[in-house]
Structures are given as C-alpha cells and as structure tokens.
A = this chain, B = another copy of it.
Amino acid sequence: MAAARHPPSTAPAGKARPPRPGPGRPKDPGKRQAVFAAAKRLFLLHGYDGVSMEAIAAEAGVSKLTVYSHFRDKEALFGATIRAKCEEMLPPTLFQAAGKGPLQRQLTGIARAFFALVTSPEAIAMHRLMSAQGSGDGRLPQMFWEAGPQRLQQGFAQYLQARVDAGQLAIGDVARAASQFFCLLKGETHARLSCGCAVTLDHRQIDAHVRATVAMFLRAYAPVDDSRRRKP
C-alpha cells in the first residue's frame, strides 16, 4: 500500500567493494551481481509492485540506468531473480543421510528439516511472491513449482520407495504418499503464513506437529503384519 521506504539498511559487512576497478572497464564488473542481490532481497520483501527500479538501484549502490543496461526491463529482472532463487533455495539432498536408525526417527528427522524449510521466511516470501503474480504468463509459476516443491517431493518419493522395497512400509501409490506427507507437514501453519497471518510456534508445538504427522503417516502406511502377529 504505502510506498516501500527502505533506507540504506545497516549492512556494511557484506559490502567488500573497495574502489578497485579491476576488469571494470571493458565490461560488467560485479555490479550486475549487486543488482541481482538487491532485486532478490527487495522483491521477496515487498513484491513485484512494491519495489521500484530506483529502489533496486539504490540498494545495489548503482544508478537506475545501470540496472537497465543489464536487464531489459522490470519483468526481465524479476524473471531472472525468480529463476536464480529457485536454484539456490533447494538444498543439495535432504534425504541422503536418512538411511539409518529406526524408521520413525528417520521420518521425524526429515519432517523436522522440511518443516523448517517451508516455514522459513524466505520460503514463505517466495510462495507469496508467486501467488501475487497473477495469471500473467503462467510459465514462471510452473518453473518455480518444478524446481522447488516438486523436486523435493520426488526425492522423498524415492526415499519412500526404498523403504517399501525393504518391507518397512506398505504403500500402493508412492508419489501420492509423498504428497500426502508433505501436505500434512506444511499443514495449517504454512497456509496461515501464506495468507499473511502472523503465527508463532515454539519448539514444543513444532515437535508436537511433527510427531503427529509422522504418527498419522505410519498409522496409515505401516505394514499390517505386525498387528496380526501381536493379536492372537
């Protein structure tokens, strides 16, 4: 609503930029990256309409024309920003180290990490940014989804398939089960955060949510053989 006022924030540590021209003359120095970093931060903070090219230039410490020299227009800069964010936000592999210990502990560890990831301010800002960009072109949201959530989900589906093959889980549709697990885990918290509702969870509440999610998943997909053997 109100114009985004962001005075030069106090971040002197990250500005290791002495007047060293170096390879500056012939082409583009690191200014392009400065513009890029500024665009990432500001777009995630205030949305597409909430930030002006002048603000990006000021944040990057360059002039407006420099921004326009590196990126054709505002939309191009935005698209490049989103693509870069998609690639840098995804952790290398979340399910690699999770091959030992009891199954419940493995799932709990994965769930904890995933919940922390999707409820992080950065992820929420990203999600809201995609939601905000109305059905403009429609290619950017698809790209975001495939690079972010879908990739995570496929990785988890592979992990689940391995547990199924090992006889630790009884799942008919592994992809659906992975989707269910993630949707349960994001849960109400993610939905509220996406809408802009302030929600604060302490560690106890997060733990209860994670444990309830894993418990429901295991109750639904644990092999039935155990219960049969214990009954008679």
A84 to chain B, nearest CB (A): 18
For the complex, is A127 an interface residue (Cβ under 8 Å from B)? yes
For the complex, is A187 an interface residue (Cβ under 8 Å from B)? yes
Report the nearest B residue to A218, measured CB to CB.
B220
For the complex, is A225 an interface residue (Cβ under 8 Å from B)? no
Q: Which of B130, B191, B194 contacts A196 (CB 8 A)?
A: B130
Report the nearest B residue to A182, measured CB to CB.
B188
Residues A127 and B131 in contact, CB atoms below 8 Å apart? yes
Please tell me the number of chain A residues within 8 Å of chain B, measured between CB atoms: 50
Query: How many angstroms from the CA of A59 to the CA of B130 in the assembled complex?
Result: 27
| Interface 9-residue window, one of A15-23, A60-68, A172-180 | A172-180
A191-232 CB contacts (< 8 Å) to partner B: 191-192, 194-198, 212-213, 216, 219-220, 227-228, 231
Report A's interface with B, CB cutoff 8 A. 1, 45-50, 75, 127-128, 130-136, 138, 140-142, 144-145, 149, 153, 173, 176, 179-180, 182-184, 186-188, 191-192, 194-198, 212-213, 216, 219-220, 227-228, 231
